[in-house]
Structure 1
């Protein structure tokens, strides 16, 4: 796509963001569908929302790292099919990419969506035995509320341990515009989800960050008004670095809360190098990671 055409799409996205229409619909229509093999509607649980889609690279899947991606939506909404552009962006670059649904409010409250994220990740880990001769490094990734889910899996060992996994099986994690420390809760939409005013401190990813945490790639949009980039990405970066954890952090002046994930789509990758930085982080830490006995 030319720069001129991409600018038209940007204008369209800006219009859609001001309406009730999802900006992801036109994005996915413009994303290639011949750069990966899709394994759709894979169940990792019995609930209708406990399903995931797997985007396989056309070549080299047996030796490819794996990224499990969780979308945002304030733990109230979201659909894995809307994030086909994320699956395509990474699978076309040689990364097995899994986009998982999880249960949301009002069907569930904290910590059920974290439990679902852990179950999906454990399902993928087991499936690697049929995809690969040797399990390759695994990463968890998310945007907004999904970044919270990914952070909880990476930083709080309780969730994956329920599925027989240990912290060393996560080679790294990636968070885009994630809420990592949001007590006391101000957003009225989030209060019932986290049992306000009785929200446990242990529900906050920031609480669990320490020397045992895996490498992190944290990304945020400086103008973000929904999730404060300094309180969340900035504070977590500082805490992890002070604990000796390898953290790579990027801030983007030209993006906001939604466009930071949308620019991963093929037609918009010229805008900011988000997908390049995710790919580079995964590949670098895949090379550095040694597979534990399992």
Structure 2
């Protein structure tokens, strides 16, 4: 076995660590610096509501990217962070990864705990998806190819919008308008709540049972791609991802599942970034295929 790949990876790690020490940058900022900025067009800080955090960024494929305008899928991606931390800017790498492959990508912020609690972040997520449905054609996407996607707490948001028709229904839309949903290491059945941040976000022990995505699985659910880490210590993949898949299959929903043993809870989404493809996985190709991209 050649040592060349190992040496290249070691050199990358050494360079990243050295840069961090010199500039006192966070890993997220280092990653952001390494992600290309010339592979997509950008619309930033677009309001999808009136609240300060109801803003989103749009990543648009370049004119030369396939597929042609009007046939492109649109992906609304929700970041994780236990509903208490996170912002859309940190996840630019997700927008770049998918837009450079030909998808229109929408990255919204949403209300976070402790200032906001369930169901505010679900309502914000639905409002952002409603904005995407209404603007898909203007953005050069196919209005019939709108997907919701999320990682960790963001996967919960995506699941609730895709499975529980109360949220889009209140806005005059429906989950039936979605072409599919993608969940990465999502919590879909987590009562009783043990995570301190989640306890606050869901007002435990007064958490409503209907706050759990698993309770909203029906035969009307959009086709689904579930991804998880086999040894995830933050979100149990057996109780959440595998159980969600079982319920969807029992309801007759088209569901695909992929688990990774060489990634962690955070590196599952980080692997999507071009500079971090070598971490394991790969995570991006199944997503690209699910979206119908070449």
Both proteins in one fold, TM over 0.5: yes
- Asked if residue 23 in structure 1 is aligned to residue 27 in structure 2, the reply is yes
211-220 or 127-136, which deviates more: 127-136
Match of 2:54 among 34, 50, 66: 50
Residue 8 of structure 1: CA displacement? 4.4
- Asked if residue 85 in structure 1 is aligned to residue 89 in structure 2, the reply is no
Match of 2:284 among 272, 275, 282: 275
SS in 2 for 1:191: helix
Structure 1 distance, partners of 2:79, 2:263, is: 17
Structure 1 distance, partners of 2:129, 2:166, is: 14
TM-score, with length taken from structure 2: 0.90
Contact 1:61 1:95 in 2 (8 A): no
CA distances 1:55-77 after superposition (whole Å, capped 9, x unpaired): 00002333211000000000001
Structure 1 distance, partners of 2:45, 2:285, is: 28
What is the aligned-residue RMSD (CA, Å)? Answer: 2.2
Structure 1 distance, partners of 2:13, 2:246, is: 33
Q: Could you tell me which runs of 5 or more consecutive residues in structure 2 were left unpaired when the two chains were aligned.
A: none
Match of 2:181 among 173, 179, 182: 173
Structure 1 distance, partners of 2:203, 2:171, is: 25
Structure 2 distance, partners of 1:36, 1:99, is: 14
Structure 2 distance, partners of 1:181, 1:134, is: 32
Task: Determine the structure 1 residue equivalent to 2:135.
Answer: 127
Aligned counterparts, 1:228-239, within 5 A:
228-239=236-247
Residue 10 of structure 1: CA displacement? 5.4
C-alpha distance 4-158 of structure 1, shift in aligned 2 (>3 A): farther
C-alpha distance 244-154 of structure 1, shift in aligned 2 (>3 A): same
Residue 132 of structure 1: CA displacement? 3.6
CA distances 1:73-123 after superposition (whole Å, capped 9, x unpaired): 000010101111000000000000111100101110000000000001111
SS in 2 for 1:67: strand
TM-score, with length taken from structure 1: 0.90
Aligned counterparts, 1:191-270, within 5 A:
191-270=199-278
- Structure 1 runs of 4+ with >3 Å offset: 2-13
Contact 1:66 1:136 in 2 (8 A): no
129-138 or 106-115, which deviates more: 129-138
Contact 1:63 1:136 in 2 (8 A): no
